[in-house]
Every structure is written in structure tokens, then in C-alpha cells.
Amino acid sequence: MYDPVMRVLTVLEILQARDHVTGAELAERLEVDLRTVQRYIVRLKDLNIPVDSSRGVGGSYRLRPGYRLPPLLITNEEAFALSLGLRALRQIGLSAFAPATEGALAKLGRVLPEALRESINTVEEVVAVEPGPWVVSTSVESVIRAATAIRACRRVRFAYQSHSEQNSRREINPYAVIHTDGRWYLIGYCLLRKALRTFRLDRVQNLEIRSASFQRPKKFDPHAHLKQSMPFIQSGYQIDVWIDMPVEQAQRAFAPYRVATESEQGGTRLRCGRDSLRPIAAMLLGMGRRIVIHKPAELRATFREMAKMAQQTAKAR
């Protein structure tokens, strides 16, 4: 994505790494013309960065002798947190950020005091961060464009494939982007459905920012909306069970698993949507409580299959 701010920062990085560099070299590196390079140099000077220039065709530039960016003033814990956070992007389905992650870590290494670089090296050498089994990889471009449109209150348009593999073109007023349960979601008012809708960003293709603007609701709470709608978003099975567990305890036990809970007859009525039944069946059994299945019928069959497998395993030697 074309980003003038990032290109200005790139000019600064090149100037820090070289004694001097010509305008033609900068133009070639940045894939812009000489006039654009001159604008970038003016921008750096506006930021009080002392760039000296020489006359001639294209000119040449250098940072004033002795000038360096000051050390980044952060604590050891902050350096560790930054490094760990950058490397954890894969954990939330943004592995495509890997090149940017390495670039950011390299920049940190150049500006951090020597004593703090050890924190970055520690994360790299001894801490392994791998994505969980439920994490779904998502287009970085879609996340960035959606977030940009929300901030600018601009409408977006995209192609969407539903859980049932039905394709449609959607145009929405985007309200929020949220990551939960290993997936990225885009919430907004859908002009096709004339209602608030939640879309999985990994199923979005060719997201475009439109010129049309809108007014984002001031009191819109994406967390509250997601809590209400998430259990039933585009799933193959709608699950409705009762479990012999106080609702307060059930809410703590099932909090990470996008389920809706309510107190009923001394236990908890639990509702959610799932694409696969075995994981939810195993999770329910793991609670060690009595369960009553309201729907779907396939969940009963799943429990029977698991019971048969458990018996065979128990008899095996």
C-alpha cells in the first residue's frame, strides 16, 4: 500500500545508514520522481531533522554530522513486551505481518541501548510463540483497510462467501473490527440486509474503501454486540443444551468459547453455534456434569460415537 509517511521514514533510515545519498538514488529506491524526493526532504526538515543538501542535478543529501536519533527510552520489561507482542502476531492470524515484524524488530535493535537489546534476543532465542489450532489466517490488507475505513467513517464494499459457500457482494458502514476465538470479524450496517451484520474477515475478498461517508453511532459497543451475536454466527450446527452447573460457574468455565448462557432450573442453558460437534461434546463431557441435549440430534449421535471410542480405548491393552 502506498504510504507517504512510511516513505519519509524510509528516507530517514537511508540517511542514517549512509554518509550521503543522491536524489537519484533515493528516487530509484522509493520508486518516485526527484520532485517527490525533494518533498520528503522538506518534510524531514519540518520535523527539525537536520538534513544538509548539495546543489546539482538531483542533488545529494546527508544528515548533519553528529546527528543521530536519540536512544529509545523504554524499560527492560517494555522491550521484552514489544518483542513478544510483535512475534505474537501469528497467534491472532496475522502471519502475513512477518516481514514487517522483522523490520520493526531490526529498527528496535538499532535504537535501543545495548543493555536492552538482550530482551529482544531473549524472545527470539528462547520463547516459542505458535498459533493455536483454532486460529484462522486473515488478510492483513483487509484488516488494515477495514480499520482505516472505520476511522475515516467511509463505507466499504467487498465480496463475501458465507458459511454455506453462498457468494454475495456487500456494501456496509463499518463500525468495528474485533479479534476473538482465533478469527477476525468486521461489524457494520449492511446496506443489502438493512441491518447490523457481522462478517468473518477471512471470508472477505477485494475489500474497497468507498467515497461515501457515514456517521458511526456514538454509543455503539462492539464488545456487547459480539457477546450477543457471536454464539450464532454462521455455524453448521446450532447447539442448545442444559448442564447441571450454576450459571456463574458456567460463565467462568465457558467464557473463552463464544457461548450464550442463562440460568435455568438450578443449572445453565447453554446455546452456541459450531461447525464441528466433537470439540464441544468433549468440552461438555470434561465438565463432569449431567447434560440434557435439546438440539441438534446430531450431537446425541456424536456422544454415542465418543462413548463407543472410549469403551474401546478402555478395553485396549
Give the whole-angstrom CA distance, residue 160 versus residue 194.
16
- Whole-model pTM over 0.85: no
Task: Spell out the per-residue pLDDT of the chain, length 317, in tens.
Answer: 456 777 787 888 788 877 888 988 888 888 888 888 888 889 888 888 888 888 766 578 988 877 766 655 667 777 778 888 887 777 777 877 777 777 777 777 776 777 677 767 776 676 666 666 567 788 888 998 999 999 999 999 999 998 778 899 999 999 999 887 678 899 999 999 999 999 989 999 999 999 999 999 988 998 888 777 765 555 678 899 999 999 999 988 887 667 888 899 999 999 888 878 998 899 899 999 999 999 999 999 999 999 999 999 988 87
Helix H or strand E encompassing 285: helix 277-286
CATH second-level architecture of 140-224?
Roll (2.30)
Domain with CATH 1.10.10.10 in the chain: 4-63
Domain with CATH 3.30.70.250 in the chain: 235-315
CATH of domain 4-63: 1.10.10.10
CATH second-level architecture of 235-315?
2-Layer Sandwich (3.30)
Greatest alpha-carbon span in the chain: 87
Domain with CATH 2.30.30.520 in the chain: 140-224
Sheet containing 267-274, strands listed edge to edge, beginning at the edge strand earlier in sequence: 260-264, 267-274, 237-243, 291-295
Give the whole-angstrom CA distance, residue 196 versus residue 210.
19
